Structure 1
Amino acid sequence: MTVEAQKETRGFQTEAKQLLHLMTHSLYSNKEIFLRELISNASDAADKLRFEALSNAELYEDDPELKIRIDFDKDAKTVTISDNGIGMSRDEVVEHLGTIAKSGTAQFLQGLSGDQKKDSHLIGQFGVGFYSSFIVADRVEVFSRRAGDAAEEGVHWECSGEAEFSVETVEQAARGTTVVLHLKSDESEFADGWRLRSIIKKYSDHISLPVVMKKESHDTGVEGEEGEKEEAEKKAPEDETINTATALWTRPRNEIKDEEYKEFYKHVSHDFSDPTLWSHNRVEGKLDYTSLLYIPAKAPFDLYNRDASRGLKLYVQRTFIMDDAEQFLPLYLRFVKGVVDSNDLSLNVSREILQKDPNIDSMRSALTKRVLDMLEKVAKNKPEEYAELWKEFGQVLKEGPAEDFTNREKIAKLLRFSSTHTDQPQQDQTLVGYVERMKEGQDKVYYVVAENFNTAKNSPHLEVFRKKGIEVLLLSDRVDDWLVGHLNEFDGKQFQDVGKGALDLGDMDTEEEKKAQEELAKENEDLVERVKKVLEDKVEEVRVTTRLTDSPACLVVGAGDMGAQMRRILESAGQSVPTSKPTLELNPEHPLVQKLDREPDEDRFADITTVLFDQANLAEGGQLDDPGAYVRRLNKLLLEISQ
């Protein structure tokens, strides 16, 4: 039966030439995305057929096995994407392909009821994905026939990316749509089996339809065995399915084995080790999305690089959109791996970038809480396992209170510290445990910050606390000063740096002790004035103290001043730091200070005072402005003692 040609040339229904140029040169950042878009369109066509076939099974036309086929021809420089989905009539081709940004999928979704729309897997709702073809092709042909139409009602659409396209009626035996891309001269890389397979695995591995290609042909003949070679060449290449056609996260949790979860983690994270724990969850309601989150066993090498790529893999109805979607988790949880799949997100028109959207904020909040709940559960039920996680990710979690005010208390319960309770370097003490061990009358969480554990452990500021049996947190990580500056309190107890401001133990000091302190200050007024005169350029104030039991002196910064550890960190990073002078506190009961008080020679008094100041600085982990002068004074005093 002959088909009467009905070819016509028509103009696009927009300023198409300029718009097509914009789309093909500016809209997409990655050329290979064209294949993702066309496979997504083919998948949508199959979904449309499934829906319509629910009420009219004859639409399957004795071909119920839905699939997508990819072919290429290196010589002709073409790539062909075919599907046996719903197909299009002539009017639909003109309407959908003749109007840029006219989405058949979006129009189809508008006609669905709430439940039907929820169950669909359609994603091509922008109406521009098809035109990504022109990124790599200078001519595109579409052959299509709608399911249920006669073979002679097929349609052929053709365009060279200009302001016009042609459409004609042709005969087409099979239902569905075939898109033929005639590649540009410099885009022949896409007429290659390995290249196409890698793109399919990257972007479309988990869509529900099988994506098939012919197996790569290999010459298996042996020289001299011409008959066998000819026979092999006659055999048609077999089809092979390129994608897995299943998405682990879409399956019910009770159907997935632990080994499958572990293998999928290795696939998405490129990590050779098994994850420590994971959470698989589907949310339905106002938002509809699925998440599969993993906590690795080991920290990645770039964990402390806050600018490194990080985030979850983003899918929209199984189609890969973004590799490092950082919008779904805060920076302090950057070690978490996994996927999130949703159809409720605002993507930009190229589906490569997330738009700012309240839905993203809601998902971020829920996913953050889920990760923290995972960690809280393992900390409670498997403390040894959590201790290993803390070694890997603890310093990053300490960034949390400064970045996530909403979950500050929740994060605080996950934190671990060293303290004078055990005097061990491992961070295994919780704030909950600290509060439970607080002394009667204690209303603060005391801590000391130092450059390393030993400096913190041996800080002179701890002497009175050890004497009274008051626990002090020993903070030596670089992030610790930043942490306590934002955590401020826990369980209603304020944090107090024992190296800042005047010592005030509140109700833990008896009236007798407070009276003795006042008398001690009065008795040593002359000594304080003499010392202050020697150090007037180096200190803000000099005073006697009761915080020391074994050391002669210590340095204290003002209650509102920056700590020495934070100052050193900022200075090492090249930051300008506001200048401030410390306060020197003297222990009047120490023999050296008592000897200093009795020293009549003012020059010798000045030398001893300066040495005491420098020693107090060294005990804090500080650096001397003039180490040579300190050594000379110390040697001079040693010689005088030995004579």
Structure 2
Amino acid sequence: ISKKYGEDTAWKWVSNGTDGYTIEETTKDAPGTDVIMTLKADTDDEKYSTYLEEYEIRNLVRKYSDYIRYPIKMEVTKTRPVEEPQAEGEEKKEPKYEEYQEMETLNSMVPIWQRAKKDVTEEEYDNFYREKFFDYTKPLKVIHFGVEGAVSFKALLYIPGKAPYDFYTKDFKRGLQLYSSGVMIMENCEDLLPEHFRFVRGVVDSQDLSLNISREMLQHNRQLTIIARNIEKKIKSELKNMLDNDRAKYEEFYAVFGRQLKYGTVADYGAHKETCQDLLLFYSHKQGKLITLKEYVDAMAEGQEKIYFAPGENRERLAKLPQVETLSKKGYDVLLFAEDVDEFIPQTLMTYMEKKFCNVATEDLGLKTEEEKKEAEEKAEEMKGLLTFVKEALGDQVKEVRLSADLGSHPACMVPDSGMSFEMEKYMKKANPEFAFPVGRILELNPEHEAVKALQKAMTEDPVKAKDYAQLLCYQAQLMAELPLEDPYAYTELVCKLMK
């Protein structure tokens, strides 16, 4: 029932929610609007009467209308003690209480994000985060900002201090709470957050969005797209600022959400790599700490043309790879990739600051001069008999046996015969147990190592022992490459045999 100020006639609008509505004249004493709702009778499946309970009404107002700028009041029943006179010396009586009615404002009215940043304390930010998102870990970063323009909005965003238990599962729902003039219109608006920043929580409020806009319309809403673009830029800016000016805090953040930034880099065929690549950190073998790709390139040794990386499961083991040892002796740094997603980064970026990536386990390190290449070819021809002998001794265990000058102090190593590394093969098998494209194995031998020289000598003096030497080097190369041995017992028996 509604009556306009200054008019005598009131109007009554009636609808059952299914068959349209009626409008008719009526009477009303004071101007204004009364909304009168009649609830359906309870059924076995639905208890509509719960919407009349004070607790439920409070929850509904808090969830959807807590930040409307007008007070929402409700008559509530409260109790208070009744004071009764007590005679001197009389035994103390049990306290009595009486009920009374009072009008109580249920909503906060002024949302924290509408206040100026200088007027909000750190404690207020933390309390709001805890109450709104039920996370009792202090947030790592608060991002409070507003934008005025074609589309105006206020946003209060949080970077959590820890990842939700289901963060890396399909059950996790990303998104920000979306408000229009203080009224929540969507609890998890996914379109406001890109996948690579899915860890961010918070609220966005805009007067430019309609209150009755549907979820389907929001997905194609130009205003929402503008808001989302501004939010993405702001999050990246804040993270970059943290990276540059508070490295310890950024590394704390990266330990929790760094994997998500890596996923974001490679997702959608690298569509977001420009946003994410400068936020990534990788472990530097030379510096012994996490560094950015830019820091790696800026610190490259004179004459170095590639960004070297070694993929694997364990940084300590990767640091001992022959190729890493060889590069370190030349003063070149190697990034140690110990997470399964890491190896996808170079494949997505291709280059960084015009420098190509080089997988030390699968690619030529590019260290040889033309003269050294010629010498290597001559050496391979000279030791052709040994290479043929070892290949025949190992049979199908390896696809090829060849020499390498990149093994440092190690006698041998195992490398893949294609661009796919052994780590990538493991990842593919883990993702798809029926993966049927195993990577071929190439055994590389260091012609200057004493073990290889002993093998060459045994080839002419004791061919049986030479075959055992070849098998032992193959086993060792597999272990160094973190490849499983098909028959560990055969390995231990061989070691014992050679020790006799």
- Which residue, 157, 174, 177 being the options, matches 2:30? 174
Structure 2: distance between partners of 1:231 and 1:389: 53
SS at match of 1:179: coil
1:364 partnered with 2:223 = no
Provide the residue aligned with 1:268 in structure 2.
Answer: 132
Q: After superposing the two structures, state which structure 1 stretch, 306-315 or 542-551, moved more.
A: 306-315
One-letter code of the match for 1:565?
Answer: E
Structure 1: distance between partners of 2:337 and 2:245: 26
One-letter code of the match for 1:564?
Answer: F
| Structure 1 residue 358, shift from structure 2 partner | 4.1
Provide the residue aligned with 2:114 in structure 1.
Answer: 250
Contact 2:319 2:325 (8 Å CA) reproduced: no
Give the direction of change, closer, same or farther, for the CA distance of 1:310–1:470 in structure 2 (3 Å limit).
Answer: same
Give the direction of change, closer, same or farther, for the CA distance of 1:160–1:471 in structure 2 (3 Å limit).
Answer: closer
Structure 2: distance between partners of 1:188 and 1:536: 79
SS at match of 1:282: strand
Provide the residue aligned with 1:413 in structure 2.
Answer: 278
Give the direction of change, closer, same or farther, for the CA distance of 1:306–1:375 in structure 2 (3 Å limit).
Answer: farther
| Structure 1 residue 242, shift from structure 2 partner | 0.6
SS at match of 2:34: strand
In the TM superposition, what whole-angstrom CA distance separates every residue of 1:588-621 from its partner, at most 9, and x where no partner exists?
Answer: 1111111111223443333322221121111111
- Which residue, 392, 399, 409 being the options, matches 2:256? 392
Provide the residue aligned with 2:11 in structure 1.
Answer: 155
| Structure 1 residue 493, shift from structure 2 partner | 0.7
Contact 2:300 2:333 (8 Å CA) reproduced: yes
1:401 partnered with 2:401 = no
| Structure 1 residue 255, shift from structure 2 partner | 3.5
Mapping of residues 405-554 of structure 1, within 5 Å:
405=270, 407-422=272-287, 424=288, 427-505=289-367, 509-554=368-413
Consecutive unaligned residues in structure 2, runs of 5 or more = 43-47, 87-93
Structure 2: distance between partners of 1:280 and 1:165: 44
| Structure 1 residue 161, shift from structure 2 partner | 4.2
SS at match of 2:409: coil
| Structure 1 residue 549, shift from structure 2 partner | 1.8
Give the direction of change, closer, same or farther, for the CA distance of 1:414–1:302 in structure 2 (3 Å limit).
Answer: same
Q: After superposing the two structures, state which structure 1 stretch, 457-466 or 260-269, moved more.
A: 260-269
In the TM superposition, what whole-angstrom CA distance separates every residue of 1:202-236 from its partner, at most 9, and x where no partner exists?
Answer: 1111111111111234486799x9xx999956x5x
SS at match of 1:380: helix
Structure 1: distance between partners of 2:398 and 2:362: 14
One-letter code of the match for 2:196?
Answer: Y
| Structure 1 residue 403, shift from structure 2 partner | 2.8
Structure 2: distance between partners of 1:559 and 1:573: 20
SS at match of 1:183: coil
In the TM superposition, what whole-angstrom CA distance separates every residue of 1:294-315 from its partner, at most 9, and x where no partner exists?
Answer: 2223333333335412221111
Contact 1:204 1:320 (8 Å CA) reproduced: yes
1:607 partnered with 2:463 = no
Aligned length: 484
Provide the residue aligned with 1:278 in structure 2.
Answer: 142
One-letter code of the match for 2:331?
Answer: G
In the TM superposition, what whole-angstrom CA distance separates every residue of 1:499-527 from its partner, at most 9, and x where no partner exists?
Answer: 0033422xxx3444334323322221111
SS at match of 1:315: strand
Mapping of residues 35-50 of structure 1, within 5 Å:
none
1:184 partnered with 2:45 = no
Provide the residue aligned with 1:76 in structure 2.
Answer: none
Structure 1: distance between partners of 2:104 and 2:74: 6
Give the direction of change, closer, same or farther, for the CA distance of 1:358–1:638 in structure 2 (3 Å limit).
Answer: farther
| Structure 1 residue 350, shift from structure 2 partner | 4.7
SS at match of 2:104: strand
| Structure 1 residue 194, shift from structure 2 partner | 0.5
TM-score norm. by structure 1 comes to 0.70
In the TM superposition, what whole-angstrom CA distance separates every residue of 1:80-122 from its partner, at most 9, and x where no partner exists?
Answer: xxxxxxxxxxxxxxxxxxxxxxxxxxxxxxxxxxxxxxxxxxx
Provide the residue aligned with 2:67 in structure 1.
Answer: 206
Provide the residue aligned with 2:487 in structure 1.
Answer: 626
Give the direction of change, closer, same or farther, for the CA distance of 1:184–1:256 in structure 2 (3 Å limit).
Answer: same
Task: Report the RMSD for the aligned CA atoms in angstroms.
Answer: 2.9
Structure 1: distance between partners of 2:211 and 2:362: 50
| Structure 1 residue 347, shift from structure 2 partner | 8.7
Contact 1:501 1:557 (8 Å CA) reproduced: no
Structure 2: distance between partners of 1:403 and 1:342: 30
One-letter code of the match for 2:132?
Answer: V
Structure 1: distance between partners of 2:20 and 2:336: 74
Contact 2:196 2:261 (8 Å CA) reproduced: yes
SS at match of 1:474: strand
Structure 2: distance between partners of 1:492 and 1:377: 24
Structure 2: distance between partners of 1:575 and 1:369: 39
Consecutive unaligned residues in structure 1, runs of 5 or more = 1-142
Structure 2: distance between partners of 1:246 and 1:148: 31
Structure 1: distance between partners of 2:212 and 2:402: 64
Contact 2:358 2:365 (8 Å CA) reproduced: no
| Structure 1 residue 447, shift from structure 2 partner | 0.6
- Structure number with the bigger relative contact order (C-alpha 8 A, sep ≥ 6) is 1
Contact 1:221 1:229 (8 Å CA) reproduced: yes
Structure 1: distance between partners of 2:349 and 2:16: 62
Q: After superposing the two structures, state which structure 1 stretch, 240-249 or 566-575, moved more.
A: 566-575
Provide the residue aligned with 1:292 in structure 2.
Answer: 156
Provide the residue aligned with 2:187 in structure 1.
Answer: 323
Give the direction of change, closer, same or farther, for the CA distance of 1:205–1:539 in structure 2 (3 Å limit).
Answer: same
| Structure 1 residue 349, shift from structure 2 partner | 5.3
1:314 partnered with 2:178 = yes
Provide the residue aligned with 1:555 in structure 2.
Answer: 414
One-letter code of the match for 2:346?
Answer: V
